Chains A and B, each alone.
Chain A
Amino acid sequence: MKSHSPHSWSEYAISSIIKISGYSAILFVTLIFIFLLRSGLPTLREVDFQSLFGTRWYPIEDYFGLLPLIGGTLIVTVGAAIIAIPFGIGTAIYIAEISPKMVREILKPLVEVLGGLPSVVLGFIGFLILAPYIRRILNLSTGLSALTGSLLLAAISLPTIVSIAEDALDAVPQSYRDAALALGATDWQTIWRVTLPAAKSGVVTAVMLGIGRAIGETMTVMMVTGNAAVIPRGLSALFSPARTMTATIAAEMGEVATGSVHYHILFFIGIVLFLISLFVNVIASAVIFRQKKRSERILS
């Protein structure tokens, strides 16, 4: 027994350290959430509902309409998703299913390097190069628009989508593909009808994480979307400036006096943002959950 004791002591130490870090993650998230609620909820008492749903955001003169900001985030994010999802899944399919091994060895790390690009660098590229081009090509009044933001956000979320979706496709057993091909399916039919559905839960996770990345991104959008708080009306909004919730928090948080109405409402925006990403995540896990149950049914 005695010879065991140093071993079991270190075992105990290591497992409790791991336990602490596990619990501390939960603790920190809870504390952050409590802080967010405590700093944000006073808004509901200080600002009446009508002005919260107003069409104007100009907090230094007490205009607290959130609709332009929510609209801005939605249009920029949806734009990014429309670009990034097909491109991301397409790239993942190419890397996992079609490309020769050599190309794959180069492409995969390249995509991951793209994921490591600091967003402020992309922002600089955005307003110095991309925005002027977009203005000229599409003949817009200004290139600092939701579209520019969407393009850059797509570039930011692509690596996430590609690498996770590619892993999911890679994990599909080779026998599935062999079986499909043996039944006379073409390569494309195999990918579209067999491999992709089999990897569905992983691919959905990839898309959701990618969208999460896009919603939360701050620096890049602040630099390229023009930050005009206008409620998007129709498709033309994609080609005009927009102000996102994250950019608003980042741009204004430094200035506000602690405890003021403006301070509280910036945290309230944080809560709204949190709820939106929670919503996205719940939908994603619901989709994955359903998928699992179905596959379980098939297996049983």
Chain B
Amino acid sequence: MYAALWRALPGPWWVRLLILLALLAVVLFVLFEWVFPWIDGYVGEGSQGTVGT
């Protein structure tokens, strides 16, 4: 899967590496900005540091 992605990218190895790093940055940004906050709404810490509840 990732090997296929590597072969599909154009250019010499360092161009492919730069493209991959850019892709990775985009993926991380989308995850941190939107996906993880959305997931957090469902799996958020059950405990609140409170007593009684």
Are A and B subunits of one complex?
Answer: no
Residues of B within 8 A of A (CB): none
A positions within 8 Å CB-CB of B: none
